[in-house]
Amino acid sequence: MEDNKESFGKVFLREFISFLKYFAIAFIAAFIISRYIIINAVVPTGSMTNTIMEHDRLIGFRLSYVFSEPERGDIIIFKYPDNEKENFVKRVIGIPGDVIEISDGHVTVNGEVLDEPYIREPMETPTELTYIVPEDSYFVMGDNRNNSKDSRYWQTTHYVKKDQILAKAIFKYFNTQEKRIDFKILK
């Protein structure tokens, strides 16, 4: 009888240690994936409406810009330059060296009016604005131009430095309006 109790205890201990190993491996893998490969983001405002709605949830790929540069039109997740404790989600409008002009409700990049089918309403432009995007920086705007705290309105700088970019937004996985899982590739 004593042998059965002893072997049951050994089996239980062995199984428990095995469980702890798997749990530790899963925890470490989840930590590495969420810290270095993907980012889970909640869009805090309606600045990207209609592309991304307020409180929608999305996944960004942290490794997108390891071997390439952000491109005009990419939707990025980045540290807000005026308060790096906050993350913002906006669309890249200008890349290093671009001349951005905003007037009469249009955005012009290097002399050409930007084709923006994602804009939901005409942009109000009370004054003409011109920006020259510095090296290693990006000019970003929300798709909901009349309700977006973007590069035009920041206090410390009008640009996002490359090292402030956390990820390229890849897909939306939760639609807040319809309260359902909704995998949608972001463009």
Distance CA 52, CA 56 (A): 6
Q: Which of 61, 90, 58 is nearest to 74 (CA)?
A: 90
Contact 43, 88 (CB under 8 A): no
Q: Which of 117, 109, 111, 113 is nearest to 138 (CA)?
A: 109
Kind plus residue range of the DSSP H or E element containing 9: helix 2-32
**Active site residue: 64, 90, 137, 151, which one?**
90
Place of tokens 């009016």: 113
**Active site residue: 7, 21, 34, 47, which one?**
47
Q: What is the per-residue burial (b if ≥16 Cβ within 10 Å, else e) of 128-166? A: eeebebeeebbbbbbbbbeebebbbebeeebbbeeebbb
Phi, psi of 31 (to 5 degrees): -60, -50
18 catalytically annotated = no
47 catalytically annotated = yes
Q: Catalytic residue numbers? A: 47, 90
